Amino acid sequence: MKAFEHLNVTSVEDAVAALGEDWQTRLIAGGTDLIPLMKKGVVAPSRLVNLKTAPELAGIDFTEEGGLVIGATETLDDIAHFPAVRQHYRLLAEAISVAASPQIRNMATIGGNLCQTSRCWYFRNLFFCWLRGGDRCYAFDGENRTHAIFGGGPCYSAHPSDPAPALIALGAEVTLTDSTGHRRSMPLESFYSPPEPSRRRETVLWPNEVMVAIRVPNPPAGSLGAYLKGMDREAWAFPLASVAVQGLWDGPMATEISIVMGGVAPVPWRARQAEDVVRGQPVDGDLARKAAEAAIDGAQPLEHNRYKVELVRAIVERALLSAAHGARHGTVV
């Protein structure tokens, strides 16, 4: 690993100022994504700026009016065990509970998790792939078992975060700040954007920006969700496919519904056609199967990941039935 300087900052302003001074500067908080990239030589920063020493980026707060506000350097474990999250945002708690391992959840921050880059083995093993500035995606006609079946091209990487689909389904917003002091907020869904030639990354975060906080509105009474994840093993694995379902229920009928998938596209993937099938209808087995069929419409699997189509169909159906079952039995918040 290349030698680097380590800088502790005490404010967001100092962090973005340091970030803007040198393109070889990187931000670090938990380090669970960045350190492995440095060890492999994928990135070789000359300086690391430690965000965990900036108090403004820490903390979790909840009010009935303002909802949940999470500082970007809060750990996944602290978020999942925060009383208001367990009471009002069970979808988020469920998604975090199956992310990585307990040891990693104790270190990994929510900001780092939402901003983590591709887990594609070509990208992480020093292939000069399209995402790293090359002219081809090696996964397209290579080993692509874990790659995208939606929204692929020119990069076919699959989004790895578990909290991201849950937070999008919950209507979360993120706040960003840059080296000029300008702050902007946007829906988390808009924060993600498939890579394109002018922006070879999976988010709209600029190189001189820092994620400050995530705000999640207070779910209205009658809300309930479910998170399901397909993995190669029972724990400590990224999703082969995942789905976050969050609904506003009147008995078994979903008056509003969000269905967001992970592990199937370069960014979290909204299943809007499936939402249209479910919205305003009582959810039973037949409707859940129709929604699951709608969720896989437009899938374009590669040579080795065709199994993901059936996996998505199954977990969308199961997640909808799980949420509807909870609504029928009065477990909505």
Ranges of each domain in the chain: 58-333
The pTM is what? 0.97
Q: Around Cβ 286, how many Cβ atoms within 10 Å? A: 8
Percent of the chain with pLDDT over 90: 91
Q: What is the pLDDT, as a whole number, of residue 333?
A: 54
CB proximity list for 187: less than 8 A, separation 6 or greater: 168, 171, 172, 173
Q: Which of 72, 95, 276 is nearest to 168 (CA)?
A: 95
Q: What was the pLDDT predicted at 332?
A: 59
Mean pLDDT of the chain, nearest integer? 95
Which pLDDT does position 20 carry in this prediction? Answer: 79
Kindly state which CATH superfamily the domain 58-333 is placed in.
Answer: CO dehydrogenase flavoprotein, C-terminal domain (3.30.390.50)
Model confidence over 146-161: pLDDT tens digits?
999 999 999 999 999 9
Q: In terms of pLDDT, which residue wins out, 118 or 233?
A: 118
166-222 residue pLDDT tens = 999 999 999 999 988 899 999 999 999 999 999 999 999 998 899 999 999 999 999
pLDDT for 23 beyond 90: no
Split at pLDDT 50, 70, 90, the class of 331 is: low
pLDDT in the model for residue 1: 81
Q: What is the pLDDT of residue 207?
A: 87
Token pair for 302: 């590669």
Is the pLDDT at 296 greater than 80, yes or no? yes
- Residue 59: HSE in the Cβ half-sphere, 13 Å Cα cutoff: 9
